[in-house]
Chains A and B, each alone.
Chain A
Amino acid sequence: MTTAEPTDAGTGEGRLSETIETVDTQRVALYVVLAGLIGFYLSPLWAGLTTAFKTQTGFVETTPVTPPTPAWFTLEPWELAFAAMQGGLINSAMFVVPATILSATLGSLAAYGLTKLSWRGQVGILVIFLAGVFLPYQSVLVPLRQFWSAVDLAGLLSFAPFLANRADLLELTITHTAYGIPICTILFRSYYKTLDDEMIEAAKIDGANAFGIYKRIVLPLSLPMFAVTLIYQFTQVWNDLLFALVLVTSRSNYVVTQSLNELQGSMAQEYNIQMAGAFIAALPTIIIYVIFGRQFAKGITGAS
C-alpha cells in the first residue's frame, strides 16, 4: 500500500494528495502496481488474442505473450471457428433477447406491484423472490428435465413445424425468464423504493388507475433501471451453459456456449481455433460491457 494522504473532504472525490514532495514516488509506485494488475487481468485475453491470429506452428513455437509475426499471421482460425459456431450464435440471439426482455418486464411489473403493498406484506413476498436469486440451479435440474419432457412442447407445436423444431429454444426462453424474474424484481424494487411518491399520489388524485400510473409515470421513470436489468440479464443468459446442456437436445438448436464447448472438445490441440471461438462467443457481452460498464456494475452489485 502506498500512503493515503487525506485531503480536502468536501469534494467527495479526493481523499488524497496533500502535495508533499515524497508523495511523487509513492504515486508512481501506485500507478506501477495498478498497471501490473491490468497486465494480470488482461493476460488471459491477450494470450487468447495473440494465439487466435497464429498458425499452428506459430503458436507451438512462440509464446502466447508475443504477438504473431507476419510469417505466422493468419485469419483462418477465425473463419473456421465462426463457421462452426454460426448456428449457435443465431440460436442464442433468438432466445436470449426475448428471455431478457420478458424477465425485465415481468420483474418491473412485480416490483411495482410490491410497492403498493404494506411494509410487512412487501417484505414477505420479497423474501420469496430473493431466495430465488441465490438458488443453485443444480437443485432444479432433474425436475426441469421431467417437466419439459412432460409438457412436450414440440408435440404441442406440431401444427407449426417451424416452432416445433425450435421447441428447445422456446423452453430455454421460458426457463431463463422464470429464473431471471427474482433478480429483476429485486433490482427494480430497490429502485422504486427511492422514487418519490408525490407524482404517483397526484396521478391517483387525478383518477388514474394502477395500470395507468404504471404506464404514464413509473415506466418512463424506470428506463435507467431497464438498462441495468437488461444488460445484467443479457449477460447472464448469453453466458449460461448449464440449462442449455439439460434442455437443448437436438444439435440444430445448440446455443453459442454449447457450440463453443463442442468446438473445444473437437479441436483439443488447435488452440488458435479455440481462442478465436472463445472471442466470437464473448464478443456480444464484451461490446455491451465496454459500452455499458456502469450499468453492468450496478446490476451485479444490486444483485447482492
Chain B
Amino acid sequence: MVFDMDRLLARVRRREKQLSRNDDSSDGDSVVTDGGTAKPERRGWLARLRHSDAIQAIPFWLPPALLMGWFVYGAVGWNLLISLTDWSGLGQPNYTNLTLEMYTQMPDDPSFWAAFRNTIVLLIAFTVVSLVIGLVLAILVDQNIRFENTFRTIYLLPMALSFVVTAIFWSWMYNPSTGTINVVLSAIGLDVLALNWIGDPRTRLAAIIFALTWQFSGYAMVVYLAGLRAIPDEHYEAAKVDGAGSLRMYWRVIVPQLSASTTSAAVVLMVFALKAFDFIFVMFGDNPGRSADILAVMMFRVAFSRTQWAYGAAIATVLFLMALAVVAPYLYMQYKRGDL
C-alpha cells in the first residue's frame, strides 16, 4: 500500500479539530453510545441515529462485505470442516464424524513432503531472486535515463500475461533441441549447459523458478522504484559528500531505506509463489512429478482428479495456514505503524 505519513497525520489533526468544534457530525462510535442523550433539543435520538455517519455507511460496505465474507471466510471455514471428514468419491460429505485423520496421515505421505519441500524452496528462491533482480532493475532505471517509461513498461510487461500464456512460451523456450535457451547457450559456447531443462527432474524446479522470476521481477522493480523515489535527494548528496563510492552508497545508505518496499514486495511475491498453480498445471498437467510438485498443484490433483476431497481440503488448509503465516505478521506490522 502506498502510504503517506504526513498526509495521514494532517488528516487526523483536521479530524480532531473538526470534532472539537463541530459535534454535530461526530464520528461513528460516539454517536451510537451517546446518541440518546446528547443534544436532545435538536432532533430526536432516532433521527439523529439515522443521520449518523456510521449508520449511513452500512448500506455501502455491508453488502460487499457479506458477499466477499461468504466466499472468503465462509468457504475457508467450510473447507476446514470438509478436511475433518473422510469424504471421497461421488457422494456427499458426512459431517457427523469429524476426525483429524486427514492431517495425521500427512506426515506418512512422501508425496506430501515432496510437495511441501518444493513449495518452501519455490517460495524462498523465487522471492529472493525476484527481489534482487527487481532492485537492480530499479536502480538502473533510476539513473535518470532516457526513455525510462519504455524500459519500465517492457520490464513489467510479463506481469500482464496469463500464466497459461507464459507457461506455453516457456515450454518452447526450454525445448531441448530448438528452444531459445539452449540455442543461445550453444551459441555462446556453453553447450554443457544445454540441458533438457524441464524434462530432467533435477533442473525442473529451477527452470520453473527462473521463468516465474522473469514474469514477476518487474513487479519488484516497480515497488523498489517507488521506494527509491521516496528517498530525499539530500541522502544521495550526503553520501556523495562523505566520499562513498556509488556501489557502497547504494549498499550503505539507500538499500537500508528500502526495507519497507522490501517487506511489502516480499509478502506479495510469496503469496504469488503459493498461487503458482496455473503455470505448473499448464506446463506439466496435474502431476509434475516429485521434483516439481507443489502443494497448490497437489491439492488440485488429490481433490479434483482423484476425488479425495477431504484430503485435498486438508492440503488446502495447510496452504492457507502458510499464507496466513506470511501475511499476518505483515498486516500486524502495518497496523502497529498506523499504515493501514
Contacts and interface: CB of A to CB of B under 8 A. Distances in A.
A102 B171 CA distance: 35
A129 interface: yes
A131 B160 contact: no
Contacts of B137: 37
A51 B172 contact: yes
Contacts of B157: 41-42, 45, 286, 289
Contacts of B188: none
Contacts, number: 363
Contacts of B183: 63-65
A44 B156 contact: no
A23 B169 CA distance: 39
Contacts of A13: 144
A218 to B, nearest CB: 10
A290 B282 CA distance: 25
In which size bucket is the chain A interface?
Answer: 35 or more
Given A16-B144, A140-B79, A142-B313, A204 B71 contact: no
B267 interface: yes
A38 B25 contact: no
Interface stretch (B40-48, B124-132, B190-198, B295-303): B295-303
B76 A278 contact: no
B281 A241 contact: yes
A288 B162 CA distance: 13
A203 to B, nearest CB: 12
B282 A261 contact: yes
Interface stretch (A28-36, A71-79, A152-160, A162-170): A28-36
Contacts of B145: 30-31, 34
A300 B68 contact: no
Contact of A239 (B54, B162, B245, B267): B162
Contacts of B151: 34, 37-38
A278 to B, nearest CB: 5
A225 interface: no
In which size bucket is the chain B interface?
Answer: 35 or more
Interface in B236-256: 236-237, 239-240, 245-247, 249-250
A4 B53 contact: no
Contact of A134 (B14, B73, B271, B313): B271
Interface string A237-257: 011111001100000000001
Contact of A194 (B4, B136, B158): B4
Nearest to A296: B160
B172 A271 contact: yes
Counting chain B CB atoms within 10 Å of each CB, which of A15, A33, A242, A289 scores highest?
Answer: A15
Interface in B249-289: 249-250, 264-265, 267-268, 271, 274-275, 277-278, 281-282, 285
B143 A4 contact: yes
Given A44-B166, A116-B28, A301-B222, A210 B319 contact: no
Interface in B23-49: 25, 27-30
B100 interface: no
B116 interface: no
Interface in B116-165: 136-137, 139-145, 149, 151-165
B67 interface: yes
A42 B154 contact: yes
Interface in A284-298: 285-286, 288-290, 293, 296-297
9 contacts: A2-B143, A40-B214, A65-B180, A136-B319, A138-B296, A242-B277, A245-B300, A257-B164, A285-B162
Interface of A: 1-7, 9-10, 12-17, 30-31, 33-34, 37-38, 40-45, 47-48, 51, 59-60, 63-65, 106-107, 109-114, 116-121, 123, 125-132, 134-147, 175, 177-179, 181-182, 185-186, 190, 193-194, 197, 201, 204, 209-210, 214, 235, 238-242, 245-246, 257, 260-261, 264-265, 271, 274-275, 277-279, 281-282, 285-286, 288-290, 293, 296-297, 300-304
Interface of B: 1-2, 4, 7-8, 11-12, 14, 18, 25, 27-30, 53-54, 56-65, 67-76, 78-79, 82, 93, 136-137, 139-145, 149, 151-166, 168-173, 175, 178-180, 183-184, 214, 218-219, 222-223, 226, 229, 233-234, 236-237, 239-240, 245-247, 249-250, 264-265, 267-268, 271, 274-275, 277-278, 281-282, 285, 295-296, 299-300, 303-304, 309, 312-313, 315-317, 319-320, 322-323, 326-327, 331, 335, 340
